[in-house]
Every structure is written in structure tokens, then in C-alpha cells.
Amino acid sequence: MSGQVRPITLVGTPVLHRPCRPVEDFDAALKDLVDDMLASMYEAEGVGLAANQIGVDLRVFVYDCPDEDGERRRGAVVNPVLELLALENRRLDDGDEGCLSVPGPHARLARPDRATVHGYDVRGTAITVEGTGLLARCLQHETDHLEGRLYIDRLSARARKKVLKEYESLQAEAEPDALPG
Ligand code: NI
């Protein structure tokens, strides 16, 4: 893998809280971006990463995540559009969720247990990714990122506050180690 590990943007960084721009050029720079995103995701031990999580305002995410059968699925989606089942056909999965941009805490968040994303690969070929299990959650979480939405924005006010409090106390503890040298 040729990508460069880049720092992960944290909650509060403006690029995480507004919709990203669509990709218009399927060029070498896009391929480099995806390589950097994969390298950054693996370094951070995440199962998915959106471009704005490394500070880039473009609609791209990468994932390496098991589905409900435990099959590992990996890829990149450019300009994703999420498709969920009709409301009456949805089943919710009340699993745990966390985010590399809010490192530390997790919270239960009910989401549809299957999801489909339509988009493009790095060469501009149309692709469709169908996800079940953790991959369904991941596809929804990452497309949310590109809309400027974090999973904590889907929690109750109380649960959101609890997650942010835990995150902030961990950040305060970690600070001395973050100094150079
Ligand atoms: Ni996230």
C-alpha cells in the first residue's frame, strides 16, 4: 500500500460538520487520496473512513469491514448515494457504534440492518455495494459523514452529552503525551 497516514480530524473541526463537495475529476489525485484514506484507516484500526476525516472536503469513503456472514469486504466509494429499504420493511439493529473522530466512547444506535450504496470507484465506474450486519452500519455511518453528520448527532441529547463528556475527559488525559518529543 502506497498511501500516507494522515491525522484524523476530530469532532468540532468544521469540515466534519458540513456536507462535502462531489468529486468531479477521477484523476491520479483521487487515487492518491483513496490510498491515503486506506492507510489512515488501517493505522487508526477503523473499519471505515470518510475523506473529511482526514480534512478533505470531497464525497469519498473507504471501508474494510465484515458483513453479517463475517465476510470481509473492502473498497472505496466516490459520490455515494445511500438506499435503505422502505420504512415498513426495515429491521433495526441496535448495535454499538463509535467513530475515529470521537475516539474512545461508544454508544448504542439503532440503524437499519441492511443498506445499499450506489456510487463510483476511483476510475469512475458505477458500483453498488450492498451491506448487511456491521457493513450495513458502516455504509450508513460513512455516508452520514459526507453529509456533515456524526453518529452522535443521531443520539438522544442525553446520550450525545455522555459520549462527548467521555471523549473530552479522554482528550484531557491524552494531552501531555501529544506534546512534541
Ligand atoms: Ni466515523
* pTM for the full predicted model: 0.94
Residue 83's pLDDT band, with cuts at 50, 70 and 90, is very high
Residue listed under C-alpha cell 458500483: 127
Residue ranges of the domains in the chain? 14-173
Q: What is the 3-state secondary structure (H, E, C) of 116-147?
A: EEEEECCCCCEEEEEEEHHHHHHHHHHHHHHC
Ligand 1 geometric centre to CA of 176 (Å): 25
Does position 175 have pLDDT exceeding 90, yes or no? no
The Cα 129–Cα 117 span in angstroms is 5
Residue 2's pLDDT band, with cuts at 50, 70 and 90, is confident
Q: 142 an active-site residue?
A: yes
What does pLDDT average to over the chain? 95
What does the block give as the cell for 75?
473498497
CB atoms within 10 A of CB 19: 12
CATH number for the region 14-173 comes to: 3.90.45.10
The Cα 113–Cα 93 span in angstroms is 5
Residue listed under C-alpha cell 441496535: 94
Ligand 1 geometric centre to CA of 26 (Å): 24
Ligand 1 geometric centre to CA of 152 (Å): 10
Element (H, E) at 2: none
Sorted by sequence, the CB contacts under 8 Å of residue 160 that are 6+ apart come out as: 152, 153
Q: Which of 142, 147, 168, 175 is catalytic?
A: 142
The more confidently predicted of residues 35 and 1 is 35
What does the CA dihedral 137, 139, 143, 144 come to, rounded to 10 degrees?
0
Ligand 1 geometric centre to CA of 28 (Å): 25
What does the CA dihedral 113, 119, 122, 125 come to, rounded to 10 degrees?
120
